[in-house]
Structure 1
Amino acid sequence: MRLLFTALLLTLAPPFAQAQEEFMTQSTRDRINFSNLNIPTTGILFGIKGPAGKVIGNPYIDTLWQAGNVKFYGRLNAKTDSLAGVPVRIDLLANEVEIKAGANDIRATKAATVRYVDMNNYRGTSSRFINVREYRGDADELSGFFEEVVTGKFDLLRHPTIYIRRANYNPAMNIGTKDDELMKKTDWYIAYRKRAVKFSPSRKALLELMPDHKEQMEMYLKSKRSDLKDRADLMALVLYYNSL
């Protein structure tokens, strides 16, 4: 897959102008405010959210209710397919988007019904979580959402998931844990023309994905001494590449 992706870059990628489409998480984008709590309680929003199972941890990208805009694949009613300025959060375990319709009324919809969610985040900016169906390639095997960290010539995508680490208590040895635990995991993807490729953030992997500007990228990595495990450094590197 990576060889095909690289070949596609070499044959299709024309020179790009300096001006890149700005990515959703930056301060140039207005943050979302709560503005519309008149939320439909039928149709796509299928009912009150049920209780969570008894495990350690939480299933949410962000446990706090954040102001968000939700764009659906189907229509909520005759007038709209969107909700704006509503309290939202994403449940990775149930693969659902939760919407707070009232103090004791939480509505939920399957991720497959949602095209994207724009929502505020703990960093003080905004994030777009877009359905993986909007991408191809390695995204064909996924469910849920990509966070669009950078968009432009290359899209830098973060795919958050969750898994359950089962209890491993051994009563004979009196070691281990008796509790199941929710563990969060992040995988990174690069997409060109909506075709996504999974990669491990490393110098070698990124240079393989950027052969048309290899020398410039090598100089950048050498001068910046980027920590490619760090979100901000990885974001800066992709933004630099998109500017070439």
Structure 2
Amino acid sequence: MLGKIFCVVGLAGILPLGCLAQLSEGTKVGINTGTGLDAPKSGVFWTSPAEQSGVVGDFYIDSLWHDGDVKLMKPVAQIGGHESDSIAGISIRYNVLNEELEVLADKAKKDIRVIRGSQIKSFTIRHELGDVRYLNLASNDPKGESKGFGAVLASGRVTLVKVYKPKITRPNYNPSFGTGEKNTVVRLSTAYYLLSGSGVQKVNLNKKSLLPLLADRKPEMDRYLKEHDPDFKDETQAASLIQYYNSK
């Protein structure tokens, strides 16, 4: 429930994310009714998820609700007058098709709110096997042209992310023969990107694509390849290569 923890991290950096007391019941009601943040309709927490009539398929990276934290692009006013760019301890899931982070404001009432993807710098989903952090590609692109959120596989001087994007198939129903699909079908596809100080670069998990981008540390990379002989098609092994690069 959204009323778990609402944290302000701007207090001289003293308090860690998730450290403040629970919200008051009044603040919970404010959030559940879309007024929990004093933001315009183009901002955050103001509406329910957009409905997609006639659209079927996969919309979510994970359709289950998980606890998580959110880092906004900029601080927004909260009830009480202070501002914060962070929200912690909420139940979330990311809708890839709508580019919205859905927030389970009230499970009993099935009340779901959304934060527009354009308002989010990053979010973290907490799993039993480990946390997964997602970065907004646009916030790492000097031109702001890149879209989507990437799950961080390796981070440091360069960051390897796995981005989920919707692959849309339009209706192709033929009434004369009664064949085809009446609905728009959505399936998720993935792509990999390297984020660095110079921007966002789409890559393939193979030597030809990755190694030229790591050429400034060629001796170290050659040594790693000789010792480990990684399978570049395996994202875990590709991520280990990037982590090694970042450690040198």
Which category of TM-score, normalised to the shorter sequence, fits these structures? Answer: 0.7 to 0.9
CA distance in 2, matches of 1:224, 1:174: 55
Corresponding residue for residue 217 of structure 1: 221
More strand by share: 2
Whole-angstrom CA distance in 1 between matches of 2:227 and 2:57: 40
CA contact (8 A) 2:71 2:123 kept: yes
Deviation per CA, 1:198-233: give whole Å up to 9, x if none: 111111111111112324324433543423222211
What does 1:1-16 align with in structure 2 at a 5 Å threshold?
none
| Partner SS for 1:56 | strand
Q: Describe the shift of the 1:202–1:66 C-alpha distance in structure 2 as closer, same or farther (beyond 3 A).
A: same
- Counting aligned pairs with the same residue, the percent is 28
Counterpart residue identity of residue 51, structure 1: E
Counterpart in 2 of 1:126? 131
From 155, 164, 182, the equivalent of 1:160 is 164
2:119 aligned to 102, 109, 113, which one?
113
Change (3 A) 1:222 1:180: farther
Deviations 1:108-162 (A, max 9, x none): 12111122211124x721112122232125x732223232222112111222211
Hey, what does 1:191 align to over in structure 2? 195
If asked which structure has higher relative contact order (CA below 8 Å, sep 6+), I would say: 1
The question of whether the paired residues in 1 share the 8 Å contact of 2:205 and 2:235 is answered with no
Q: How many residues align?
A: 210
Query: Which residue is equivalent to 1:75?
Result: 76
C-alpha contact (below 8 Å) 2:138/2:145 kept by paired residues: no
Could you say what the CA RMSD is over the residues aligned between the two structures, in angstroms? Answer: 2.7
Segments of 5+ residues of structure 1 without an aligned counterpart are 1-31
- Are the equivalent residues in 1 in contact too, given 2:75–2:83 (CA < 8 A)? no
Unpaired stretches in structure 2, ≥5 consecutive residues: 1-17
> Are residues 1:204 and 2:226 paired?
no
- In structure 1, C-alpha distance between the alignment counterparts of 2:60 and 2:191, rounded to whole Å: 16
What residue is the counterpart of 2:247 in the other structure? 243
Cα distance, 1:177–1:51 mapped onto 2, change above 3 Å: closer
Pair 144,66 (structure 1): closer, same or farther in 2 beyond 3 Å: same
Q: After superposition, what is the alpha-carbon deviation per residue over 1:89-122, rounded to whole angstroms, capped at 9, x for unaligned?
A: 111111111111102110012111122211124x
* Distance (whole Å) between structure 2 residues aligned to residue 84 and residue 113 of structure 1: 16
Alignment TM-score, normalising by the size of structure 1? 0.74
